[in-house]
Structure 1
Amino acid sequence: MRLPATLAAALALSAVPASAQEVPAHAQDWSDPTSQHMVEVEGGRVWVRVNGIYTRDNPPVVFIHGGPGGTHLGFGGMLSLADERAVVLYDQLDSGMSERPEDPANWRVERFVAELEAIRQALGYERWHLVGHSWGAALALEYAAAYPQHTASAVLSGTFISTPHWITGTNLLIRELPDAVAADIIACESDTPPTPDVCGPATAAFYNAYNGRPDRPAPSPEALAYRQRYSGDGWNETVYNAMWGPSEFSARGSLVNYDATPLLARIDGSRTLFMVGQYDEARIDDVQDFVTLTPGAELAVVPGGSHAFFGERPAITEAILRSWLARMDAAQEETE
């Protein structure tokens, strides 16, 4: 993929008053932001929220959501990390709380990467940690390769960085389902699919196995209140269909030939963590191949988690991230 060029438009930051009270001594999951911002990027303005205080010794961490067309909502349980560093959440252009110009010209990988850099510049951070999930992992990888000087570390979670690898993986997972379910999914992906009453349950069976398992905890009252307040216009199916396609099992959009695996050799493997759930759509075997292509990289597997492990196993997910971020900060101090 072509790496992003310098934005032609000036980057500006306009603050929106936050409704939050003073930062608590110990940040809480799903808490209100310390500050909110609308950041000018190519194509429009994106909504950004920050919890915690920025210090040079503990670089901020930015969470990059999946999709394309998703929102930041799944990361609300990670705001407790703000007791040690600034935590940045944002919605990509055309989703959630951000503006929706609905211009297909904006739906390019390089623009989404430049969007992330615009946020860093607007907030005035020198370096930050990246946590990208699913489609967000591709953006984190692209950013780390393009802006190594601003990347404290990169966590590629629920790892999508290559459409061919992803499609191969999901089709292998289909074959691990009961034979009747697998046959229905394969039929539903054909040119002559059966009726929705067949395809709906079959697709749901895949998601229950690999993307939101039935034993996941119910959302807390705080999570439900947060989602009601900060969902904005929510998921953008138009962006998802245009860039990916109608299902997880086949890509027909602009990402159909996307493959960022060559970038793995360009990033600092010693500052790269791959993170997946035990039952993730991003198959452990595939992600292990990515680890091998990134000398020095590490792999964390969230026990019992699927692709939705941030919500299914929030405590262990937070613990893994907290330990990783602290270790990366300590390693940086040793080199200075």
Structure 2
Amino acid sequence: MIVKSLAAAALAFLPLAVQAQSTALPTDPAADWSVATSEHRVAVEGGKVWVRVNGTIGEGATPVIFIHGGPGGTHLGFGGLLSLADQRPVILYDQLDSGMSDHPEDPKNWRPERFVAELEAIRKELGIARWHVIGHSWGSALALEYAAAYPEHTASAVLSGTFISTPHWITGTNLLIRDLPDDVAAAIRACEGPKPPAAAICGPATAAFYAAYNGRPDRPAPSPAAIAYRTRYGGKGFNAKVYNAMWGPTEFRASGSLASYDATHLLSRIDGKRVMFVVGQYDEARLDTVQDFVALTPGAELAVVPGGSHAFIGERPDVAEAIYRDWMARIDAREASE
């Protein structure tokens, strides 16, 4: 699901994370796209989260914050979108217990409402009145919950690689398994059963699922800048403990605290004209499922990334950037005219 998928895609792109070094920032952040204009440690329930900003708050267009997936993922998949800072401040962060943020690893913190409160704490700390919230996978659920709870601070909400309901997600992944070659589908079902076969069978079958729906073989190779970025900002990386506790062992089976999670009722509480869903053509989130979400959100838009899977931000970076850039520019223009 959720961001184990995004994290797995990021891991496929880049070498193993190393502990980030604490170094002084150069005077010209534009000289290196991996360098933040400012970095912050924001106090939240349970500890402090690491936040980076490219651009100056209060200058340029309405800021945007990108919300990573997981649970337990990191911001790394959004590194290539820092180019959006030529128009507006771009904010990336790692959720508590992930990446560069504190790792108390206290299960009491692993609640959707705490993750939403984390976003609001960041907004207050940075002094932002309104911002665009763009979530991917599990981050979509947080973007939706935030937009419903804080409409006065939400210029728009983008739900990418959309996870907002575990029952819908599990139904979707099972349909996707059915579409795989018969031998692969049979192997995955066996591996999800009470007596799974050996890893030599389960590993390749799971890899085939990811190659189809989350990290397609034609994705671009990592650039030197991306490799350098992960080296500097990888922190402690993906947190499997959080993922397993909140979600479960695989993309196909939810046994954690999110097993019955369903936020579709919130779609009727938000302003659909300020909502966009984005999925890859071959996304784990399944286009049919997301179209149902769009239908429940009057006025919402849907963008599909051709040739992209759940990892479309890394696979089709130019298309993803263009979609987000155009969407925010149109929302900003609408707000300016109101």
Residue 171 of structure 1 pairs with residue 168 of structure 2: no
Equivalent residue pairs, number: 317
Return the offset for 1:61. Answer: 0.3
Aligned to 2:289: 286
Aligned to 1:317: 320
Q: Distance in 2 between the 1:22 and 1:154 partners?
A: 31
Contact 2:64/2:134 (8 A) holds in 1: yes
Aligned to 1:10: none
Of 10, 14, 27, 1:21 maps to: 27
Contact 1:162/1:258 (8 A) holds in 2: yes
Return the offset for 1:53. Answer: 2.0
Helix, strand or coil: the match of 1:175?
A: helix
Residue 297 of structure 1 pairs with residue 303 of structure 2: no
Q: Which has the higher contact order (CA 8 A, sep 6+)?
A: 2
Return the offset for 1:101. Answer: 0.2
Letter in 2 for 1:22: D
Q: Distance in 1 between the 2:25 and 2:335 partners?
A: 35
Letter in 2 for 1:297: A
Q: Distance in 2 between the 1:292 and 1:307 partners?
A: 21
* Deviation digits for residues 176-220 of structure 1 (CA, Å, limit 9, x no counterpart): 000000000000000111111100000000000000001100000
Return the offset for 1:169. Answer: 0.1
Alignment map for 1:184-203 (pairs within 5 Å): 184-203=187-206
Q: Distance in 1 between the 2:205 and 2:115 partners?
A: 33
Structure 2 unaligned regions, length at least 5 = 1-21
* Deviation digits for residues 63-99 of structure 1 (CA, Å, limit 9, x no counterpart): 0000000000000000000000000000000000000
Using the size of structure 1 for normalisation, the TM-score is: 0.92
Q: Distance in 2 between the 1:212 and 1:20 partners?
A: 34
Residue 275 of structure 1 pairs with residue 278 of structure 2: yes
Helix, strand or coil: the match of 1:79?
A: helix
Structure 1 unaligned regions, length at least 5 = 1-15
Letter in 1 for 2:27: Q
Q: Distance in 1 between the 2:274 and 2:61 partners?
A: 15
RMSD of aligned C-alpha atoms? 1.2
Contact 1:278/1:304 (8 A) holds in 2: yes
Helix, strand or coil: the match of 1:89?
A: strand
Helix, strand or coil: the match of 1:281?
A: coil
Q: Distance in 2 between the 1:55 and 1:31 partners?
A: 22
Q: Distance in 1 between the 2:183 and 2:24 partners?
A: 52
Q: Distance in 2 between the 1:296 and 1:114 partners?
A: 27
Return the offset for 1:244. Answer: 0.1
Aligned to 2:249: 246
| CA distance 1:17–1:38, change in 2 (3 Å) | farther
Contact 1:275/1:302 (8 A) holds in 2: yes
Q: Distance in 1 between the 2:46 and 2:213 partners?
A: 34
Return the offset for 1:57. Answer: 6.3
Q: Distance in 2 between the 1:78 and 1:20 partners?
A: 20
Contact 1:18/1:34 (8 A) holds in 2: no
Using the size of structure 2 for normalisation, the TM-score is: 0.92
Contact 2:133/2:156 (8 A) holds in 1: yes
Contact 1:18/1:36 (8 A) holds in 2: no
Contact 1:23/1:52 (8 A) holds in 2: no
Of 61, 65, 71, 1:62 maps to: 65
Return the offset for 1:58. Answer: 1.4
Return the offset for 1:59. Answer: 1.1
Residue 89 of structure 1 pairs with residue 102 of structure 2: no
Letter in 1 for 2:273: S
Of 128, 133, 150, 1:130 maps to: 133
Return the offset for 1:23. Answer: 4.3
Q: Distance in 2 between the 1:227 and 1:302 partners?
A: 25
* Deviation digits for residues 9-32 of structure 1 (CA, Å, limit 9, x no counterpart): xxxxxxx985143343xx87x421
Letter in 2 for 1:137: S
Q: Distance in 1 between the 2:27 and 2:140 partners?
A: 32
| CA distance 1:287–1:91, change in 2 (3 Å) | same
Aligned to 1:101: 104
Residue 222 of structure 1 pairs with residue 225 of structure 2: yes
Q: Distance in 2 between the 1:245 and 1:84 partners?
A: 39
Return the offset for 1:38. Answer: 0.3
* Deviation digits for residues 287-333 of structure 1 (CA, Å, limit 9, x no counterpart): 00000000000000011110001100000110111000000000001
Helix, strand or coil: the match of 2:179?
A: coil
Moved over 4 A (4+): none
